[in-house]
Amino acid sequence: MTSVSLVLLLLLCSYHSFVARAGNEQSYKVLDLNPSRAVCSEPNATIPSSSDGTSSVTLSHRYGPCSPADPNSGEKRSTDEELLRRDQLRADYIRRKFSGSNGTAAGEDGQSSKVSVPTTLGSSLDTLEYVISVGLGSPALTQRVVIDTGSDVSWVQCEPCPAPSPCHAHAGALFDPAASSTYAAFNCSAAECAQLGDSGEANGCDAKSRCQYIVKYGDGSNTTGTYSSDVLTLSGSDVVRGFQFGCSHAELGAGMDDKTDGLIGLGGDAQSLVSQTAARYGKSFSYCLPATPASSGFLTLGAPASGGGGGASRFATTPMLRSKKVPTYYFAALEDIAVGGKKLGLSPSVFAAGSLVDSGTVITRLPPAAYAALSSAFRAGMTRYARAEPLGILDTCFNFTGLDKVSIPTVALVFAGGAVVDLDAHGIVSGGCLAFAPTRDDKAFGTIGNVQQRTFEVLYDVGGGVFGFRAGAC
Ligand X SMILES: *[C@@H]1O[C@H](CO)[C@@H](O)[C@H](O)[C@H]1NC(C)=O
The catalytic residues are: 148, 358
Beta bridge partners of 187: 210
Q: Are 246 and 167 in contact (CB under 8 A)?
A: no
Burial class, 24, CB count within 10 angstroms (exposed 0-12 / middle 13-18 / buried 19+): exposed
100/90 Cα distance (integer angstroms): 18
Q: Closer CB to ligand X, residue 220 or residue 472? A: 220
Q: Are 212 and 204 in contact (CB under 8 A)?
A: yes
Query: Minimal distance in Å, beta carbon 434 to ligand X?
Result: 17
- Segment holding 398, helix H or strand E: strand 397-398
43/266 Cα distance (integer angstroms): 24
Question: Whole-angstrom distance between the N-terminal and C-terminal Cα of the chain?
Answer: 52
13/337 Cα distance (integer angstroms): 33
Beta strands in 234-267 (DSSP E): 239-252, 262-265
Q: Closer CB to ligand X, residue 188 or residue 305? A: 188
DSSP structure string for 318-379? EE-B--SSSTT--EE-EEEEEETTEE----GGGGTT-EEE-SS--SEEE-HHHHHHHHHHHH
Angle at 361 between CA 409 and CA 295, to 5 degrees: 65
Query: Minimal distance in Å, beta carbon 193 to ligand X?
Result: 9
Q: Closer CB to ligand X, residue 225 or residue 268? A: 225
Q: Closer CB to ligand X, residue 209 or residue 347? A: 209
Query: Minimal distance in Å, beta carbon 221 to ligand X?
Result: 5
Q: Closer CB to ligand X, residue 27 or residue 395? A: 395
Q: Closer CB to ligand X, residue 11 or residue 184? A: 184
Q: Closer CB to ligand X, residue 390 or residue 465? A: 390
Query: Minimal distance in Å, beta carbon 250 to ligand X?
Result: 8
Query: Minimal distance in Å, beta carbon 284 to ligand X?
Result: 24
385/408 Cα distance (integer angstroms): 10
Q: Closer CB to ligand X, residue 293 or residue 468? A: 293
Contacts of 22 by beta carbon, 8 Å cutoff, 6+ apart = none
Reduce the DSSP state of residue 80 to 3 states and report it.
helix
Burial class, 75, CB count within 10 angstroms (exposed 0-12 / middle 13-18 / buried 19+): middle
Reduce the DSSP state of residue 86 to 3 states and report it.
helix
Query: Minimal distance in Å, beta carbon 392 to ligand X?
Result: 16
| Chain contacts with ligand X (rule: CB under 6 A) | 42, 44, 102, 187, 189-190, 209, 214, 216, 220-222, 252-253, 388, 399, 401-402
- Segment holding 299, helix H or strand E: strand 296-301
Query: Minimal distance in Å, beta carbon 430 to ligand X?
Result: 17
Query: Minimal distance in Å, beta carbon 387 to ligand X?
Result: 8
274/185 Cα distance (integer angstroms): 21
Kindly provide the b/e burial profile for residues 116-127, where b requires at least 16 CB atoms within 10 angstroms of the residue's own CB. ebbbbbbbbbbb
Burial class, 115, CB count within 10 angstroms (exposed 0-12 / middle 13-18 / buried 19+): middle
| Nearest alpha-carbon partner for 410 in 29, 9, 15 | 29
Q: Closer CB to ligand X, residue 256 or residue 266? A: 256
Query: Minimal distance in Å, beta carbon 111 to ligand X?
Result: 12
